[in-house]
């Protein structure tokens, strides 16, 4: 999953349907962690992205799109809570660890 982070430079602030986008700020999450270069998932993404290691041992990525634009960042792991809403009642349905950049 690709997510725009709070300090994203040049990222769009609205979607194609003109909704205001919310940016993810890793400093506001108590469960976020960077994927290390030694993690097997970092090696797996190297097959389709120009990934590498930072001086902090974080798994970096760089993807270039057909139109020439690109995205760069660090792969993160966080716990995502999914809610089920029925009428005016909200139920915490489940949670899952998600890797994104």
What digits encode the pLDDT tens for the residues 57-74?
998 888 888 988 888 888
C-alpha angle 43-58-30 in degrees, rounded to nearest 5: 115
Token reading at 79: 């716990």
- Residue ranges covered by each domain of the chain: 26-100
pTM above 0.75, yes or no: no
How far from the centroid of its chain's Cα atoms is residue 75's Cα? 7
pLDDT digits (tens, 9 = 90+) for 9-60: 777 777 666 677 778 888 999 999 999 988 888 887 766 666 678 788 998 8
């Amino acid at each position: 999953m690709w997510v725009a982070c709070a300090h994203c430079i040049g990222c769009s602030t609205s979607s194609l349907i003109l909704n205001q986008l919310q940016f993810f700020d890793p400093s506001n999450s108590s469960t976020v962690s960077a994927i290390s270069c030694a993690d097997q998932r970092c090696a797996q993404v190297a097959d389709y992205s120009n990934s590498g290691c930072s001086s902090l041992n974080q798994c970096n990525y760089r993807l270039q799109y057909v139109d020439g634009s690109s995205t760069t960042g660090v792969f993160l792991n966080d716990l995502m809570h999914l809610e089920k809403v029925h009428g005016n009642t909200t139920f915490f349905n489940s949670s899952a660890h998600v890797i994104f950049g």
